[in-house]
């Protein structure tokens, strides 16, 4: 007898119970909630329209991502090769017929293998009914077959250049992600169960959550990803003891209190990305890279970038290099009295760190830096990952127009763009949880940080996209001049530790690896498990992911590195620290934050980090 038949006999087949009967008082309560949310909804719509008059006047850019020409070209390519299109359709219908046949067999009690299964790590179909109930299993597999058919068809279309093909893949995936049956209240078994169980109160709670998110965003929908009430800056997140010891218009400099009686002589200065806040490296104490470094006996400084407004519209790469990275380096040297400093640059700040090192070389000041560490940073943008899909001449022009009025790229745009890179995890899972199931998001420090996005000065953002992503000038010797100096990365002789994430979609490891062929000094390359954030924030106590290194000279290309790489378990942080100690100098008495010329201004985490944009 089949397993399915056993379930039927035992009465264990998953079913959706009947809806509970509501008493008059409960009905009245829910009616009152609905009326209240309707009134709030109308007010929010009016507020949103008042804040966005260009939508009513027709002056808003109707296609900021320049998708119209892309999909027009895609359609033309479809029609120009009818044989290929017919082949794709035939294959799809054959798979669909196979799925239908297997579903009928399963409904008759037979055990059958699925035609298609979700990719590893896809959390949308975790509920048991997606596999145990034939109807929901059929919906799931139908959707997965459709997704696969679209992806294969785009891959096989001839005549598209690779950039346009990648853009087509990405934006078709956004549409397919949105169309998943898991996102519909009528085809998601978990939502259906919750609706029956609560008599529909989940939708009332979800509506309240939706309106609260709209209200929080001033009429724009900015979904909550975590319970923000669970975190307080300086208390249980960004809580490593320290002082703000310097401040200018671009950044605050934090020096952390020592945790050991003696410290290494040469201090460590960290440049975090100016997208989001610095405390990605100082999350909860268990995950804090800063706290861990302090406990290893390092004198740690970190830059906390300002959250810019319209006053910063003309701040660009020149300013962030000279008034930002170079100025922080100067202050650290003066406070500690050390001639050399060890530097870390994360993501975009790592890209600028490479330019800063080249600037120092050209101006005969390279001896100020003992070593440089790069966290998931790119300098060669020829294969720059999915963010490059948002950058071409037309999109840059549209973005420039958008930034002109405000003087900055608002945090919402960056928040949405980065979430699109992992839409199922960072957008649609919260749509289901918050609005369809009517639940509150769970406390999660990493998502609290992710929701704390920053604005970006118009000039800085435009220059970064144009010179790095669009023209790839940073790796062309002398093509880019910053702070009055032509930049030539090949002149950099500083010893470098280069870290990449094996699953990084923002700075792909093969792109990060290109830095090893450009810098002239000694280099160590480490490939960490996971992605852009978890690959970096991976404390030894977690014992997760692992990392790969290679003995001897680094090969020319990333594929060769992988062939000869040695795998290690756990965090790569101890590997980095073993490398850093060679550049850290001897032991000196521990340093309290500040100095006579730079007295502490206030306790960490300071004031700039508290300025929210969302």
pLDDT in tens, 393-415: 888 888 898 898 899 999 888 88
Instruction: State the average pLDDT over residues 585-614.
Output: 96
**Could you give the CA distance from residue 203 to residue 240 in angstroms, rounded to a whole number?**
41
371 — alpha (psi -120 to 50), left (phi > 0) or beta?
Answer: beta
Q: Which residues of 75-96 are buried (b: 16+ CB within 10 A; e: fewer)?
A: eebeeeeeeebeebeeebeebb
**Could you give the CA distance from residue 197 to residue 137 in angstroms, rounded to a whole number?**
22
**Could you give the CA distance from residue 370 to residue 267 in angstroms, rounded to a whole number?**
10
Percentage of the chain exceeding pLDDT 70: 89
**Could you give the CA distance from residue 324 to residue 308 in angstroms, rounded to a whole number?**
14
**Could you give the CA distance from residue 48 to residue 212 in angstroms, rounded to a whole number?**
14
Q: Confirm if 167 and 389 have CB atoms less than 8 A apart.
A: yes
Instruction: State the average pLDDT over residues 240-244.
Output: 98
Per-residue pLDDT at 17: 45
| Span between the terminal Cα atoms of the chain, in Å | 58
Joined tokens for residue 582? 């060679």
User: What are the percentages of helix, strand and coil residues in the chain, rounded to 5?
Assistant: 50, 10, 40
Instruction: State the average pLDDT over residues 259-284.
Output: 97
Joined tokens for residue 255? 């020096």
Per-residue pLDDT at 35: 58
Joined tokens for residue 286? 């268990």
Per-residue pLDDT at 506: 93
> Residue 439: which pLDDT band, with cuts at 50, 70 and 90?
very high
What burial class does residue 438 get, using C-beta atoms within 10 Å of its C-beta: 0-12 exposed, 13-18 middle, 19+ buried? buried
| Residue 507 neighbours by CB distance under 10 Å | 25
Alpha-helical segments (H) within 480-549:
509-513
Backbone angles phi, psi at 312, to 5 degrees: -100, 15
Residue 228, pLDDT > 80, answer yes
**Could you give the CA distance from residue 498 to residue 373 in angstroms, rounded to a whole number?**
6
Joined tokens for residue 557? 């290309």
**Could you give the CA distance from residue 494 to residue 450 in angstroms, rounded to a whole number?**
32
Residue 31, pLDDT > 70, answer no
* H or E element that contains 262: strand 262-264
Instruction: State the average pLDDT over residues 311-333.
Output: 98
Angle between helices 162-178 and 134-156 (to 10 degrees): 170
**Could you give the CA distance from residue 583 to residue 602 in angstroms, rounded to a whole number?**
30
Residue 612, pLDDT > 50, answer yes
Residue 105, pLDDT > 90, answer yes
552 — alpha (psi -120 to 50), left (phi > 0) or beta?
Answer: left
242 contacts: CB under 8 Å, gap ≥ 6: 254, 255, 256, 257, 300, 593, 603, 604
The answer to pTM > 0.75 is yes
Q: Confirm if 336 and 591 have CB atoms less than 8 A apart.
A: yes
Q: Which domains does the chain have, with CATH numbers?
A: 22-57+200-230+421-443 (no CATH), 67-199 (no CATH), 242-410+455-610 (3.40.50.1820)
From residue 602, alpha-carbon distances to 103, 269, 607 in Å are 66, 19, 8
Residue 5, pLDDT > 50, answer no
Per-residue pLDDT at 604: 98
Per-residue pLDDT at 1: 35
Residue 135, pLDDT > 80, answer yes
Residue 7, pLDDT > 60, answer no
Does residue 347 carry a catalytic annotation?
Answer: yes
The catalytically annotated residue of 154, 233, 290, 347 is: 347
According to DSSP, the residues that pair with 25 across neighbouring strands are none
* C-alpha closest to that of 605 among 229, 231, 230, 235: 235
Q: Hey, is 607 helix, strand or coil? A: coil
């Amino acid at each position: 007898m089949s397993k399915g038949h056993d379930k039927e006999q035992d009465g264990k087949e998953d079913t959706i119970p009947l809806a509970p009967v509501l008493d008059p008082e409960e009905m009245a309560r829910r009616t009152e909630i609905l009326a209240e949310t309707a009134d709030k909804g109308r007010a929010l719509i009016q507020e949103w329209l008042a804040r966005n008059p260009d939508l009513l006047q027709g002056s808003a850019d109707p296609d900021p991502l320049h998708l119209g020409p892309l999909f027009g070209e895609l359609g033309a390519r479809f029609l120009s090769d009818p044989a290929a299109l017919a082949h794709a359709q035939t294959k799809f219908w054959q798979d669909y017929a196979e799925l239908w046949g297997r579903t009928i067999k399963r409904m008759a009690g037979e055990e059958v293998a699925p035609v298609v299964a979700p990719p590893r790590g896809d959390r949308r179909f975790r509920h048991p009914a997606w596999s145990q109930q034939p109807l929901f299993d059929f919906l799931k597999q139908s959707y997965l077959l459709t997704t696969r058919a679209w992806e294969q068809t785009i891959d096989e279309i001839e005549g598209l250049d690779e950039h346009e093909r990648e853009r087509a893949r990405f934006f078709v995936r956004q549409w397919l992600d949105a169309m998943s049956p898991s996102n519909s209240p009528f085809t998601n078994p978990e939502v259906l169960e919750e609706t029956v169980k609560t008599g529909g109160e989940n939708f009332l709670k979800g509506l309240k959550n939706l309106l609260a998110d709209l209200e929080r965003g001033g009429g724009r929908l900015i979904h909550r990803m975590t319970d923000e009430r669970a975190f307080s800056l300086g208390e249980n997140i960004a809580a490593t003891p320290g002082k703000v010891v310097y401040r200018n218009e671009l950044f605050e400099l934090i020096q952390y209190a020592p945790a050991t009686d003696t410290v290494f002589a040469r201090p460590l200065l960290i440049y975090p990305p100016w997208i989001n806040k610095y405390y990605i490296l100082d999350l909860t104490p268990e995950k804090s890279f800063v706290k861990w470094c302090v406990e290893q006996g390092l004198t740690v400084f970190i830059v906390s970038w300002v959250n810019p407004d319209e006053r910063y519209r003309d701040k660009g790469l020149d300013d962030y290099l000279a008034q930002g990275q170079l100025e922080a380096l100067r202050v650290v040297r003066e406070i500690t009295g050390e001639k050399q400093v060890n530097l870390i640059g994360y993501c975009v700040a790592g890209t600028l760190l490479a330019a800063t090192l080249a600037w120092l070389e050209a101006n005969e000041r390279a001896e100020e830096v003992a070593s440089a560490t790069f966290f998931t940073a790119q300098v060669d943008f020829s294969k720059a990952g999915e963010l490059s899909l948002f950058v071409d001449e037309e999109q840059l022009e549209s973005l420039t127009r958008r930034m002109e009025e405000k003087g900055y790229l608002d945090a919402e745009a960056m928040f949405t763009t980065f979430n699109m890179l992992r839409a199922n995890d960072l957008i649609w899972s919260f749509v289901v949880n918050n609005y369809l199931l009517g639940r509150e998001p769970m406390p999660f420090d990493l998502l609290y940080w992710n929701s704390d996005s920053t604005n970006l000065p118009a000039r800085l953002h435009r220059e970064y996209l144009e010179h790095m992503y669009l023209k790839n000038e940073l790796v062309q010797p002398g093509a880019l001049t910053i702070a009055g100096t032509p930049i030539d990365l090949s002149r950099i002789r500083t010893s470098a530790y280069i870290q990449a994430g094996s699953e990084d979609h923002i700075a792909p490891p093969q792109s990060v690896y290109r830095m090893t062929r450009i810098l002239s000094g000694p280099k160590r390359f480490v490939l960490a498990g996971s992605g852009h954030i978890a690959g970096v924030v991976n404390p030894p106590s977690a014992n997760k992911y692992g990392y790969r290194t290679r003995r001897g000279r680094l090969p020319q290309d990333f594929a060769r590195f992988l062939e000869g790489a040695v795998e290690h378990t756990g965090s790569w942080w101890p590997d980095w620290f073993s490398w850093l100690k060679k550049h850290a100098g001897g032991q000196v008495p521990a340093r309290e934050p500040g100095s006579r010329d730079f007295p502490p201004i206030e306790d960490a985490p300071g004031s700039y980090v508290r300025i929210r944009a969302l």
